[in-house]
Amino acid sequence: MHMARAPEARGSAECRSAFGFLLEAWSDQQFDIQEIVAHDGGCVCRSILTGTLAKPWNLGGTVVEPRGQRVSFGILDVMTCREGLIVRKEIWLDGRAMTAALM
């Protein structure tokens, strides 16, 4: 698996925006959670995202337009929490699987 890092989000506004874009870009998304590791400062969640791309997606400098196909790929969310709120969110995607499915 080749994990590619998506842009990092810091603070509540950026985290809200990152989640919002993901929900819009993959409006029918489903997550098959493989593993969750939680600790006092946050959590890591490894899952498989399945969905249909609904908005243009920047994939390593190439913008991929939606074509209506349903795809699946691995995703790793790393979230840092403070006082019960997510203050930083990193997303790692299985870049090879995503590229193969969307191109």
Task: Give the pair of three-digit tokens for residue 13.
Answer: 């506004």
pLDDT(9) > 70 = no
Alpha carbon distance 73, 29 (integer Å): 11
Q: Can you list the domains of the chain with their CATH numbers? A: 3-102 (3.10.450.50)
Choice between 103 and 74, residue whose per-residue pLDDT is larger? 74
Q: Which amino acid is at 42?
A: G
The whole-model pTM stands at: 0.73
- Looking at 5-14, 23-32, 51-60, 70-79, which range is the least confident one? 5-14
Residues forming a β-bridge with 86: 81
Write out pLDDT tens, residues 85-100: 888 888 888 878 888 8
HSE on the CB side for 2, CA within 13 Å?
7
* C-alpha span between 30 and 72 (Å, rounded): 9
pLDDT at 38: 92
Q: Which residues does 29 contact at the CB level (< 8 Å), separation at least 6? A: 22, 23, 49, 50, 51
Residue 20 vs residue 30, higher pLDDT: 30
